[in-house]
């Protein structure tokens, strides 16, 4: 208890003056910064990068955008594990708490409803466009998924009544859809070409687009579920599932 109060007083007096601990800490941080800064200062003028290697293999990757090629072809393994990390984050969030949105049936604000009605279809369109655009310009699964997640957050904030009626299973399936497609394609390629995620060259573009579409849906649902902040209630017959699966229910 004493230490806690000390910390409280310390941070309350922070603006007046730093105590001894904070001065030492400031000194250490400045030392670290100076050292790292000298390292950055002495970095070579033209560091050897992988730009040439990527450009060399670009035409075999199936996509025209170098970042998408790196993400889903050359370093596809990283992205696969990253999608798994997102899934783990949702599992962690679901094990912590129930979704904490208000339980009472409430009329949605008409202004908010109007905004949702206008914006959400547009956001789905933009997300689909970004996923498709990822093959030749800036864009891809993460950007599209982020837009989908933002649409989900918008609907959760508005507390749409129809969100309460969505059953739990589509949400779970949607959450694992991207990872499942990714693993499925990886295994398919393993049987076909002998390499995990070694796409056959002529179908690489389509396989990447398939993975991206699945991952965008899963990422959007993941982000919306993380915003809802807890697992949905499966058992209760009424007032259930209001805080989840918004994208799934509304997706055309």
Partner 1 sequence: MITTLLYSMTGLILFAMGLFTLIIHSHPLRKILAVNVMSTGVFLILVAAAYKPLGLGKIDPVPHAMVLTGIVVSVSVTALALLLACRVQETSNLDLLERRKQEARPKESNQ
Partner 2 sequence: MDAIVIYSILTLFDITLVLTMLWLAWYLLSTEDIFKAVVLFISFGLLMALAWVRMRAPDVALAEAALGAGLTGPLFLSALRRMNRTRKGERRLDSNENRGKDHNTEQEQA
Closest CA to 68 of 134, 142, 133: 134
Q: What are the CA-CA distances from residue 201 to residues 74, 100, 131, 205, 251 (Å)?
A: 13, 47, 20, 8, 32
Instruction: Give the binding range for partner 2 (CB under 8 A) out of 62-70, 75-83, 160-168, 170-178.
Output: 62-70
* Residue 191 binds which entry of partner 1, partner 2, none, CB below 5-8 Å type-dependent: none
Cβ neighbourhood burial of 82 (10 Å; 0-12, 13-18, 19+) = middle
Buried b (16+ CB within 10 A) or exposed e, 97-109: eebebeeeeeeee
Partner that binds at residue 125, options partner 2, partner 1, none, CB closer than 5 to 8 Å by kind: none
CB atoms closer than 10 angstroms to residue 180: 14
**β partners of residue 231:** 98
Which listed residue (15, 16, 17, 52) binds partner 1 by CB under 8 A? 52
Return the bridge partners of 98, or none: 231
Query: Given candidates 177, 212, 227, 242, which one binds partner 1 under the rule CB under 8 A?
Result: 227
Q: Is 51 in the site for partner 1 (CB under 8 A)?
A: yes
How near is the Cβ of 15 to partner 2 at its closest, in Å? 8
Q: Which residues bind partner 1 (CB under 8 A)?
A: 1, 4, 7-8, 10-11, 14, 22, 25-26, 29-30, 32-33, 36-37, 40-41, 43, 45-47, 49-52, 54-55, 66-67, 69-71, 75, 78-79, 82, 85-86, 89, 92-93, 96-97, 140, 142, 145-146, 219, 222-223, 226-227, 229-230
């Amino acid at each position: 208890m004493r230490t806690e109060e000390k910390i409280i007083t310390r941070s309350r007096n922070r603006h007046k003056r730093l105590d001894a601990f904070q001065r030492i800490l400031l000194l250490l941080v400045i030392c670290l910064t100076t050292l790292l800064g000298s390292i950055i200062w002495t970095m070579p003028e033209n560091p050897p990068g992988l730009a040439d290697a990527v450009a060399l293999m670009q035409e075999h990757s199936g996509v025209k955008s170098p970042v998408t090629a790196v993400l889903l072809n050359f370093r596809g393994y990283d992205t696969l594990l990253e999608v798994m990390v997102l899934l783990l984050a949702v599992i962690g969030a679901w094990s912590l708490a129930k979704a904490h949105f208000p339980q009472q049936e409430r009329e949605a604000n008409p202004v908010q409803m109007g905004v949702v009605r206008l914006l959400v279809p547009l956001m789905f369109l933009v997300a689909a466009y970004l996923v498709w655009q990822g093959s030749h310009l800036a864009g891809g699964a993460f950007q599209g998924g982020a837009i989908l997640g933002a649409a989900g957050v918008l609907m959760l904030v508005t507390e749409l009544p129809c969100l309460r009626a969505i059953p739990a299973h589509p949400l779970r399936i949607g959450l694992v859809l991207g990872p499942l497609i990714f693993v499925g394609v990886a295994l398919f390629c393993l049987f076909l070409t002998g390499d995990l995620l070694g796409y056959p060259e002529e179908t690489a573009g389509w396989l990447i687009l398939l993975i991206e579409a699945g991952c965008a849906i899963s990422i959007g649902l993941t982000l919306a579920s993380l915003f809802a902040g807890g697992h949905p209630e499966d058992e209760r017959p009424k007032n259930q599932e209001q805080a989840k699966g918004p994208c799934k229910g509304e997706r055309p």
